Amino acid sequence: MNGSLKKTLLLLAAGALVFAACGRPDKTKAAAKTIRIAVIPKGMTHEFWKSIHAGALQAARELGVEILWKGPQKEDDRAQQITVVEDVLSRGVDGIVLAPLDDRALMRPVQDAMRENIPVVIIDSGLQGKDYVSFVATDNFRGGVMAARRIGELLDVDLCSAPLRKKPHGRIMNVPARSSIVLSWLACY
């Protein structure tokens, strides 16, 4: 995912949370309270999540909100991610942006947040149920179609009419041949 797309997705998520938080009752009665949004990635070490963190910080500066960035160290620690969600709920954040590690395990903590009128935006991977205000993710299939068409343009080849090489009995000859089938299928979609 390129930088501008990441920024757009984060701005959408942050904007949805800011918009949803505006309708919440003011717990502190402070007129100039800074909105605090917890951004909870799937993990803290992968480069992808580091880029999401950078985008969240940039969106926070542009929107005038505070970001609380916290997540599990590893991308397979569901229990720690649940604990992080519960922790940010106890801190009284105004909204949560969550990339759930598991489409079921995070349902209860998200339901708890919504019950407390804390809007949740789900990013990257889906979550079962409807207890969140928005879902923002990349359409990987559409991205594949766009990439295949661009490869065809760069190679100056009409992938929709390019002949595909196959062995007898329909077996594909090699990796490039398999790739050409995938590219042709995607480009013609």
Nearest Cα neighbor of 183 from 2, 171, 169, 155 is: 155
CA geometry: angle 97, 125, 187, nearest 5 deg: 125
Q: Which domains does the chain have, with CATH numbers?
A: 3-136 (3.40.50.2300), 140-187 (no CATH)
157 and 150 in contact (C-beta within 8 Å)?
no
Q: What are phi and psi of 13, to 5 degrees?
A: -65, -45
Q: What is the pLDDT along the chain (189 residues), one digit of tens a residue?
A: 555 455 445 545 555 554 444 444 455 444 568 899 999 999 998 999 999 999 999 999 999 999 999 999 989 999 999 999 999 999 999 999 999 999 999 999 999 999 999 999 999 999 999 899 999 988 888 888 888 888 878 878 776 765 554 444 554 444 455 566 666 666 676
d(CA 51, CA 9): 12
For 184, the 3-state DSSP assignment is: helix
The whole-angstrom separation of Cα 10 and Cα 124 is 11
Per the confidence metrics, is the pTM higher than 0.85? no
